[in-house]
Amino acid sequence: MKLSKYLYIFPAFIITFLVLILPAIYTIFLSFREWDLLMPPEWVGFQNYLDIVQDPIFLHSFSNSIAWIIGTLAIAGGLALFLATLINSCSKKARILYVIIFVAPFTLSPTVVSQIWIRILQTSPGGINSLLRNLGLEEHITTWLTLTNPIIPISSVPVLTLILIFVYSWNLLGLNLLLFLVGLQSIPAYFKEAAKLDGANHFQVFYHITLPMLKPVTLIVIANTIINSWRMFDIPWVVVSGGPSRMSETLAITMYRQSFNLFRTGQGAAIAVFIGITGTLISLRWLRGFAQ
């Protein structure tokens, strides 16, 4: 009788073990070996980890992935909260309209989103360049998908990475906005009314009442944004394949290239382990700091 309750979760445990735990263990196993997918794997210890941290491509991908986290949190997180606050003060019909407009991109898969923005960003007949041409601003026409100059002079992160972050944020914004809007709707009105009677202005009400009561929703938004940005693959791969000259690669794309293009499966596995461990640590650090 005591074991019967565990039988209900046994099928889920088996699926989780086969789909998640076992591949993770095998990836860790491969990260300590050199394997070209043809010859048997050979034990090399920590050499794969030493090689990747000394690889300039890996270091550049690491900086790009950090930029993905910061940029997506700012655009898809911060902007979503700002828009949700504005929309929450609108009428019911207006709220429904705005939610439909902003959530619509989220219903599209990242591949579809990438194809849409390829046609917007391509040189000719790209949407942005066509608009600039019609406005008489030909001097601003450029090849948007090859902007490899740094965002700031001291950074190795190219402008193209910022453009790709915007594309993903456009896709993710609707979900975060919807979560924040649900959280705002759940805050009892009498808390804000009592604060206003005590003389609090709009900013004070937002900072001392709205933000603390949105903390559970904010934790979900932050965790989802960090995890998905840190392992970002599909959008930069579909739009520019990590190019040009591997300048817009993320860690996930570098992992893919090492494993299946260059046949350095051990290094690819080491990058996968690095992504998993650091992604977990970054998420826990952000969430713990925000929850305090």
Q: What is the pLDDT of residues 40-94, one digit of tens each?
A: 888 998 999 999 999 999 999 999 999 999 999 999 999 999 999 999 888 888 8
Average pLDDT estimate for 240-259: 91
What is the rounded distance in angstroms from the CA atom of residue 156 to the CA atom of residue 59?
Answer: 10
Using a 10 angstrom Cβ sphere, with 0-12 exposed, 13-18 middle and 19 or more buried, the burial of residue 79 is: middle
Q: Is the residue at 170 inside a domain?
A: yes
Which tokens is 256 given?
Answer: 């893919």
Q: pTM to 2 decimals?
A: 0.89
- pLDDT of 171 above 80: yes
Q: Is the residue at 5 inside a domain?
A: no
Over residues 20-33, the pLDDT tens digits come to: 899 999 999 999 99
pLDDT at 274: 94
What is the rounded distance in angstroms from the CA atom of residue 262 to the CA atom of residue 52?
Answer: 14
- pLDDT of 270 above 90: yes
pLDDT at 57: 92
Band of the pLDDT at 290, cuts 50, 70, 90? low
CA 152 to centroid of chain Cα atoms: 21
Q: Is the residue at 189 inside a domain?
A: yes
- pLDDT of 271 above 80: yes
What's the mean per-residue pLDDT of the chain?
Answer: 88
Q: What is the CATH number of the domain that holds 142?
A: 1.10.3720.10
pLDDT at 140: 81
Q: Is the residue at 16 inside a domain?
A: no
Band of the pLDDT at 174, cuts 50, 70, 90? very high
pLDDT at 154: 63
Number of domains in the chain: 1
Given phi > 0 = left and psi -120 to 50 = alpha, else beta, which region is 122? beta
- pLDDT of 5 above 80: no
Identify the domain containing residue 74 by its residue range: 46-291
Percent of the chain residues past pLDDT 70, beyond the cut = 97
Nearest Cα to 43, choosing from 51, 33, 35? Answer: 33
- pLDDT of 240 above 80: yes
- pLDDT of 1 above 60: no
Q: Fill in the amino acid letter for 214.
A: L
Over residues 104-162, the pLDDT tens digits come to: 999 999 999 999 999 999 887 778 888 888 888 888 888 888 888 887 776 778 889 99
Q: Is the residue at 110 inside a domain?
A: yes
Band of the pLDDT at 242, cuts 50, 70, 90? confident
Band of the pLDDT at 181, cuts 50, 70, 90? very high
Q: Is the residue at 41 inside a domain?
A: no
- pLDDT of 219 above 70: yes
Beta carbons of 146 and 160 less than 8 angstroms apart: yes
Average pLDDT estimate for 194-207: 79
pLDDT at 291: 58
pLDDT at 289: 60
Using a 10 angstrom Cβ sphere, with 0-12 exposed, 13-18 middle and 19 or more buried, the burial of residue 6 is: exposed
What is the rounded distance in angstroms from the CA atom of residue 11 to the CA atom of residue 132?
Answer: 57
